[in-house]
Amino acid sequence: MAEQLYNAIFVGSIYALFAVGFALVFSVLDILNLAHPVVFMLGAFVALFFMSTFGAPAALAAVAAFGVTGVFGIFLDRVAFAPLRRRGAPPLSAMISSLGFAIVVIRLMELRYGPDLVSYPAGSLAQTVLQIGDARLDGLRLLIIGLAIILMAALTYVVRATQLGRDIRALAENPRAARLLGVDVDRAIAATFFISSGLGGVAGALLGFAYNAIYPQMGTPYELKAFTVMVVGGMGSLPGAVLGAYILGIGEIAALVFLPAEFAELRDALAFGLLFLVLVLRPRGLLGHRVADRA
C-alpha cells in the first residue's frame, strides 16, 4: 500500500512537471502547445547524449536537459508561434502549427535513434533501494520526487517574487496593458517558453532515468493526460496543474490497484470521463479563473 502511494506520488510528480509547463504557456498565450510532448522527449534524449558522449553523471545530464530544451523551447516559439502572433491568428492555428513542428522533430529523432526503446548507459543510474518499515522503495524515484518539488518551488518563487515573474503574470492577464506598462513582451514570452520547455525536458529526463527506457514517441501519451490535468486543476492555473497532476497520479494508481485486470483500459476512460465532467459542470476546474464567455 505504501509502495503504491509512493508510486502515485512519483507518477504525479512527473505529470506535474510536464503539465505545469504546458499550463504556463496556455495561461500566458492562450494556446495549447502541441509540441510540448516533444521537449519532454528531447529532455530524455539530451540527457542520454550527455551521458553516453561525455560520460556525464546523471545529475549533470539532467541540468543539461533543462538548459538545452529550454533554449529549444524559445526556438519552437520563434518558428511555430511568433509568426502567428504577429498576425493575430486564433489559437487553433497555433495548435496546428505546433503539431506540424512536433511531427517534424519526432520524425527526425526516429531517424536518428529508431522508434524503439533506448536505454541509458549501463551503470549510470543509481540503483538504491530504501527500506522504510515494510516498504521497499526505489531510491531514484525518491530523488526524482524531491527534485520535482524543488523545481516547482523554484518556479513558484520565480513567478511570485521576481520581476520576470511579474512580467509574465502581467502578460497572462492582459497583453495589451502589459505592453503599455513597459513590460518587455518578447523577453517575457521567451522566458515563458524557456521555463516551460526546460521543465518539460527535465521531466522527460527524470522519467527516462526512472524507467531507463526512452523512445521518440514517449511524449504523446502525456499530452492527453496534460489536458486532463489542466482541466481538472483549472486551465491556466499553475498550482491547479500541480494539484490536478497529483490527483490524476493517485487516481490512476488507485484504479490500477482496485479495478480488476479486464478493466485496465477503463482507467483511461476514468481520466477522460473526469475531464469531461469537469468541463461540463465546472469549466474553471478546481483552481482556475471563471471561464468567461469569449465574447
Binding site for other proteins (CB under 8 A): 26, 30-32, 79-80, 83-84, 87-93, 95-97, 99-104, 107-108, 111, 224, 227-228, 230-231, 235, 262-263, 265-266, 268-269, 271-273, 275-276, 279-280, 283, 291, 293-295
Q: By C-alpha distance, which of 214, 286, 212 is closest to 246?
A: 286
DSSP bridge pairs for 136: 131
Q: Which is nearer to other proteins, 51 or 247 (CB)?
A: 247
Gyration radius (Cα) of the chain, Å:
19
Distance from CA of residue 176 to its chain's centroid? 28
Confirm if 220 and 266 have CB atoms less than 8 A apart: no
Q: Which is nearer to other proteins, 107 or 187 (CB)?
A: 107
Tell me the closest approach of the beta carbon of residue 111 to other proteins, in angstroms: 6
Q: Which is nearer to other proteins, 29 or 170 (CB)?
A: 29
Q: Which is nearer to other proteins, 201 or 234 (CB)?
A: 234
Tell me the closest approach of the beta carbon of residue 252 to other proteins, in angstroms: 13
Q: By C-alpha distance, which of 13, 6, 30 is closest to 204?
A: 13
Confirm if 25 and 242 have CB atoms less than 8 A apart: no
Tell me the closest approach of the beta carbon of residue 180 to other proteins, in angstroms: 19
Confirm if 145 and 165 have CB atoms less than 8 A apart: no
Tell me the closest approach of the beta carbon of residue 295 to other proteins, in angstroms: 5
Q: Which is nearer to other proteins, 5 or 279 (CB)?
A: 279
Amino acid found at 220: T
Tell me the closest approach of the beta carbon of residue 292 to other proteins, in angstroms: 10
Amino acid found at 223: E
Tell me the closest approach of the beta carbon of residue 228 to other proteins, in angstroms: 7
Place of cell 500566458: 28
Residues in Cβ contact with 195 at an 8 Å cutoff, skipping those fewer than 6 apart? 21, 24, 70, 155, 158
Q: Which is nearer to other proteins, 86 or 180 (CB)?
A: 86
Tell me the closest approach of the beta carbon of residue 41 to other proteins, in angstroms: 15
- Looking only at the bridges linking them, the beta strands covering 129-132 and 135-138 are antiparallel
CA 84, 72, 194, 42 torsion-angle sign = positive
Q: Which is nearer to other proteins, 110 or 184 (CB)?
A: 110
